[in-house]
Chain A
Amino acid sequence: MEELTTPGVLTSQLDAAVGWARKYSIFQYPFVTACCGMEYMATASSHYDMDRFGAGFPRFSPRQADVLFVVGTISHKMAPVLKRIYDQMTSPKWVVAFGVCTCTGGFYDDYSTVQGIDTIIPVDLYIPGCPPRPEAVLQGLMMLQEKIQKQGRTVAK
């Protein structure tokens, strides 16, 4: 009992608990603009079952969401909307770039497409693929969970 009350031990345990709670209760905001949305739906529904990872509950208000899933091509005209949605989310928040269009612009190397959403908002996880397979999405989701667990209460955003 003596050892447990020393400050160091208590902090690390709380961090672990916060990280654990956060990583298994990801409320996502799906920002779906294009064809990747189909693959997102496949991942979210019963066959692949994103709910196994505690991420099965999409919130359609950014104020209630923790993870912003940017799914699909972002055009220049959509960019201010995306930025605003990101700003409306409360911390801690994470951003997932779903599909090559959001990672780099993909094959839309043209006048109207944003060349990677990281030119507008910070991104935590890149999932390439056109569209990414559900397995890749789930792998990415687990990587994100690991990151959330490690961060604990120390999210500085």
Chain B
Amino acid sequence: MSGLRDALTKGFGDAVLSFEGEGRDQAALVKPEAARDVLRALKDSGFNMLVDLTAVDFSRYGQDLPPGVTATNPAPEGSRFRLTYRLMKLGATEGLVLGRLAVHCWIVDDRGPASVKDLWPNADWLEREIWDMFGVKFSDRPGIKRLLLYEEFVGHPLRKDYPINKRQPLIGPKDERPRERLTGADLRPRIVP
């Protein structure tokens, strides 16, 4: 599998920023503008399965940590989201996993790379989910639709700045309800007269 490292770092030059790990635990970091080309080459080299495509919001990384714990945000300047493509080589005749690779890319603001839904059809829903939950757009899918939430939903709930108990306009209550502290005595059936 070391051929993979060479193929990527030599074949794509600057576009592949780093390549780490070995065996089944390899990860490549690529530039977003080249992500699609790299992924296409990987597909052609036998990565026939897109196991997962997801995003991580690093905007609050390292904040609100317990005392004594520190962490440095790995996000480069101007980047907030990191996309991760998890690829697998599945030998259909042998029924064996022949290789795994994670491809990461840091994107600028909310502008994601070009779609890969023509390479792996399941990327269609995964990209819609990323738009739904993180508000990351894919450059050639301007009219992308939400997957899990409904059209009237305001905001993108897995962003770290989405308030955890924010209410949606379509389904109330309008404001956050005061939460009383209940005791065991309150936990009795109550009938509305």
Contacts from A to B (Cβ < 8 Å): 76-77, 79, 104, 109-112, 114-116, 119-120, 122-129, 132, 136-137, 139-140, 143-144, 146-147
Min CB–CB distance B51 → chain A (angstroms): 25
Q: Is the CB of A119 within 8 A of B189?
A: no
B92 in contact (CB, < 8 A):
no
B192 in contact (CB, < 8 A):
yes
Q: Is the CB of A111 within 8 A of B157?
A: yes
Tell me which of A128, A137, A144, A146 has the highest count of chain B C-beta atoms within 10 A of its own C-beta. A128
Q: Is the CB of A144 within 8 A of B186?
A: no
- Count residues of B near A (Cβ-Cβ below 8 Å): 25
Given A125-B189, A125-B190, A136-B189, verify A119-B172 contact (CB < 8 Å): yes
23 contacts between A and B (CB under 8 A): A76-B150, A76-B168, A76-B170, A109-B164, A109-B165, A110-B157, A110-B165, A112-B149, A114-B171, A115-B177, A119-B173, A124-B191, A125-B190, A126-B189, A126-B192, A128-B187, A128-B188, A132-B189, A139-B188, A139-B189, A143-B189, A144-B191, A147-B193
List the count of A-B residue pairs having beta carbons below 8 Å apart: 69
Contacts from B to A (Cβ < 8 Å): 149-150, 153, 157, 162, 164-168, 170-173, 177, 179, 182, 186-193
Q: Which residues of B are found within 8 Å of A120, using beta-carbon distances?
A: 171
